[in-house]
Amino acid sequence: VLAAFRELQAEGWIEAACNITRVSGTPPKDRLDRGRARPDRLGFELPTPPSPALDPALVSEPVPPGTLVFNTGQPDLRLLPIPLLARAYGRALRTRALLSYGDPKGEPRFRAALAGLLSGVRGLAAQADRLLVTGGSQMGLDLVARTLLRPGDRVAVENPGYAPAWVAFRAAGAVLVPVPVDEGGLCVDALAAELERGPLRAVYCTPQHQFPTTVTLEAARRQRLLELAEAGRFAVIEDDYDFEFPFDGSVMLPLAGMDTAGVVVYLGTLSKVLAPGLRLGFATGPAPFLDAVALHRRAADRQGGQVQERAVAELIEDGELQRHVRKMFRTYLARRDALAEALREHLDGVVDFRLPGGGMSLWVRVDPAVDLDAWTARALDRGVAFERACQFEFHGRPLQALRMGFASLQEDELREGVRRMKEAL
């Protein structure tokens, strides 16, 4: 009873003084109004123009169930070692320290395991204390942008390129400078010309398998890019999102491994080798820069999910992740070849492509006579979806090409998808 009275008093319904309790003379207007809240009402201003320029290109269109999607960002989740992962999660959950606050740079055993992996496979002498775990590569891009960029800074980006990175840079106020890409990757001559026009704060690039064209940045251009960065004191943000699947055996090591000038910021992800839903990525680079990034991570969300970081650390320590990657390598290689064969068989003369040296996608040029919009729409009606290249073009201009992911579909699904594409022509 006393509690009820206290609550009424606290909320202003009754007044109590000198042992007399009575109904309040000024009942709480807010309570009388309750239930009348209008959720679509906004009582304050949002910054206008909407800041930052958040690109709708990030929003992927939903497709009807049963559609075969040549998804370029997705590994085959059906092949994941789920029981191993679940056991590792269970052990991590039983480790109390992981449920508490921890290091904003990431769970130490995960960073150590990653460092070992990167030294062995990618030739990066990344020590654990120079690795920072991120919530997928998008957080890596965002944190690098927050740490590095000031409003008005010029950042060169590949065109065509990876739009979600542009969003992160624009969110930090950057002015983007598109630089063309050709068969040798980023056109470093064009980049040098942009440098003549004014200083750059950073260059964002995907040297291993360029997004979206899958080309590998030539050795001479790599060298020149690093020289330009050293001279111009700008950062090279190297996004190595699918290092793990170099099918043609010629592994080009990351720019970060050649960086003697302290200019390369290297971003990686486990979205392609494990699963995007785990949201695990990492960044490495010059130590003073990483320390600054860690402060920003602390401000942004304090730290990541240590439970899953430890769980995946165990998979790496036990060699299970490496085993999974080897298995996926063989699987995806066969799928790449199956897709290529199906395209040659069913769409010869309509499409043209070069087998990519690695990665999980084909870059497919389409006969100029084909109306891409109409083909895409008809294909969706027949249950097959693919990504048009125009969404990767900086100015949104039409590009007569497709990016076709082959990793998440089985060989028969790939063949069936191409058959449906042919029917939809």
> Is 233 one of the binding residues for its own copies (CB under 8 A)?
yes
Interface stretch with its own copies, choices 22-30, 325-333, 362-370, 396-404 (CB under 8 A): 22-30
Which of 117, 155, 168, 188 touches its own copies by CB under 8 A?
Answer: 168
> Is 3 one of the binding residues for its own copies (CB under 8 A)?
yes
Q: Which amino acid is at 346?
A: H
DSSP structure string for 179-237: EEEETTEE-HHHHHHHHHHS--SEEEE--SS-TTT-PPPPHHHHHHHHHHHHHHT-EEE
Sorted by sequence, the CB contacts under 8 Å of residue 262 that are 6+ apart come out as: 286
CA dist 70 and 131 (Å) reads: 33
Which of 21, 120, 193, 301 touches its own copies by CB under 8 A?
Answer: 301
Touching its own copies, residues 34-63 (CB under 8 A)? 34-47, 50-52, 54, 58-60
Paired strand residues for 35: none
Which of 178, 194, 262, 337 touches its own copies by CB under 8 A?
Answer: 262
Helices (H), strands (E): how many in the chain?
13, 16
Touching its own copies, residues 183-222 (CB under 8 A)? 201-202, 216, 218-220, 222
Strand residue runs (E) in 263-372: 264-269, 281-284, 351-353, 361-366
User: How many CA atoms lie less than 13 Å away from 332 in the CB half-sphere?
Assistant: 32
DSSP structure string for 369-390: TS-HHHHHHHHHHTTEE-EEGG
Residue with Cβ nearer its own copies (124 or 364): 124
Among residues 136, 129, 188, 178, the alpha carbon closest in space to that of 158 is found at: 178
Q: How far is the CB of 319 from its own copies (least distance, A)?
A: 20
Q: What is the size of the binding site for its own copies (CB under 8 A)?
A: 119
Which of 299, 355, 374, 377 touches its own copies by CB under 8 A?
Answer: 299
Structure tokens at 100: 């508490």
Interface stretch with its own copies, choices 94-102, 111-119, 315-323, 331-339 (CB under 8 A): 94-102
> Is 144 one of the binding residues for its own copies (CB under 8 A)?
no
- Kindly list the distances between the CA atom of residue 178 and the CA atoms of 162, 164, 319, in Å, as whole numbers in the listed order: 11, 14, 41
- Please identify which residue in the block is written with the tokens 């111009």: 232
Residue with Cβ nearer its own copies (40 or 348): 40
Which of 18, 19, 22, 29 touches its own copies by CB under 8 A?
Answer: 29
Residue with Cβ nearer its own copies (21 or 51): 51
Dihedral sign of CA atoms 373, 374, 380, 384 in order: negative
Q: How far is CA 269 from the centre of its chain?
A: 8
Q: How far is the CB of 285 from its own copies (least distance, A)?
A: 9
Q: How far is the CB of 378 from its own copies (least distance, A)?
A: 26
> Is 85 one of the binding residues for its own copies (CB under 8 A)?
yes
Q: How far is the CB of 302 from its own copies (least distance, A)?
A: 4
Touching its own copies, residues 367-386 (CB under 8 A)? none
Interface stretch with its own copies, choices 140-148, 317-325, 339-347, 380-388 (CB under 8 A): 140-148
Interface stretch with its own copies, choices 244-252, 314-322, 386-394, 415-423 (CB under 8 A): 244-252
- Over the window 306 to 345, marking each residue x when it contacts its own copies by CB under 8 A and - when it does not, the resulting string is xxx-------------------------------------
Touching its own copies, residues 278-297 (CB under 8 A)? 278-279, 286-289, 292, 295-296
Query: Residue 352 is inside which H or E element, if any?
Result: strand 351-353
Interface stretch with its own copies, choices 77-85, 361-369, 374-382, 412-420 (CB under 8 A): 77-85
Touching its own copies, residues 341-370 (CB under 8 A)? none
CA dist 334 and 172 (Å) reads: 41
Among residues 402, 404, 360, the alpha carbon closest in space to that of 272 is found at: 360
